Structure formats: structure tokens, C-alpha cells
Amino acid sequence: MEQHGETGTTGPGAVVTTGLDVVVTTVASDSHTWNLVFLQLLLEELGHRVTNLGACVPDALLVAECRRLAPDLIVLSSVNGHGFPDGLRVAAALRARPELARTPLVIGGKLGIEGTGADARRRALLAAGFDGVFEEGGSPGAFPAFLRELAPGGRPSLDGAPVPAVSGARR
């Protein structure tokens, strides 16, 4: 597990950290890693700090690491087509922890093995607790747009503003 990021200074001795602290991983059944490397590089290029947990991370380990790290965002990626059922299970485990219940959570990639049902999968994943669903074939700019819409620190706004409706974001 590696953590990367950038810090800067704005005055004598003042250190300012920019971007979000992001955990990136796959679902437990997915052994693909190239997607995680791509996501890590994209997020770092956008100024975020990334902890990449790697592939085939068991649910309990993901929850434990997210509790330890207290990230601003959790990103799950799936290439094997089982992201939908695994994502439902992971969302329940993460949302069951009070300290992670409001942490922005997104999933993307190949979420199903059938060519149909993307809208139903998206609705079910949002209902399960995901804040964004980015299924393969969607707009390449949707995920970066979602990142820009996150409140400072990555936490949803407490002023009652809705979560952005980007690529199926939960409302």
C-alpha cells in the first residue's frame, strides 16, 4: 500500500495540503490491477493523494483500512464484471460503520456480465449507498466532474445542498 500526494506552502512555515485523500481498490473477486494503476495516476494528476490497496481486497480488510485512513473518498473499480454484486456487499459493510457512513463512495468499470441492465444496476448501487456509479461506456469526463463537485475535504456539504447528479450520483 502506497500513499502519494502533494503539499505546498503559502507562507513561512505554513504547509497546505491540496486535494482529497482517496482509497482506490477493486472488489474482492477482481484480480485486475491495470485499472487501479490508471485510477491512481489520474487521481494524482488531478492533485489528490492515493492509497492503492490493490486487487482482491477482502471486504473486512477494505473496511479496516478505510477506518484507519479516514479517506475523503473511496473508489472501487471492477474489470471482471462482478462489480455489481460485490459492490452491493461492500457498500453495506462500509455504510454499516458510523465513521464511514458519510464518506463519499463510488464504483466504476465493468459492473455486470450481461450487456443489459445498466440503469437497474445503477439505481440499486445508489440505493445501496454509492454516491456515484461510473459504468464502462459512460462519459470519460464524468468521474473528474464528480471529483470537482465534492465539498472541500471530500465530505458532502452539510448545508443541505444535494449531492451532484453526475453520472448517476445519489441524491
Q: What DSSP letter does each residue of 118-164 carry, written as one string?
A: HHHHHHHHHHHT-SEEEETTS-TTHHHHHHHHSPGGGPPPSSSPPPP
Rounded to 5 degrees, what are φ and ψ at 44? -65, -40
Q: What percent of the chain has pLDDT over 90?
A: 65
Query: What is the structure's pLDDT at 84?
Result: 95
Residue type, 51: T
Kindly state the average pLDDT of the residues 2-25: 60
The rounded mean pLDDT for the chain is 83
Answer left, alpha or beta for residue 56, where phi above 0 means left and psi between -120 and 50 means alpha: left
**Residues forming beta bridges with residue 24, ordered by sequence position:** 52, 75
pTM over 0.75: yes
Kindly state the average pLDDT of the residues 116-130: 93
Query: What is the structure's pLDDT at 113?
Result: 86
Lookup: cell for 160: 443541505
Q: What percent of the chain has pLDDT over 70?
A: 77
Q: What is the pLDDT of residues 49-90, one digit of tens each?
A: 999 999 999 999 999 999 999 999 999 999 999 899 999 999
Q: What is the pLDDT of residues 90-111, one digit of tens each?
A: 999 999 999 999 999 999 999 9
CA pair distance 4, 89, nearest whole angstrom: 28
Whether 157 has a pLDDT exceeding 60, the answer reads: no
Q: Where are the alpha helices (DSSP H) in the chain?
A: 34-45, 59-69, 83-95, 118-128, 142-149
Asked if residues 112 and 81 have their Cβ atoms less than 8 Å apart, the reply is yes
Whether 12 has a pLDDT exceeding 80, the answer reads: no
CA pair distance 51, 69, nearest whole angstrom: 9
pLDDT band for position 163 (cuts 50, 70, 90): very low
Lookup: cell for 80: 471482471
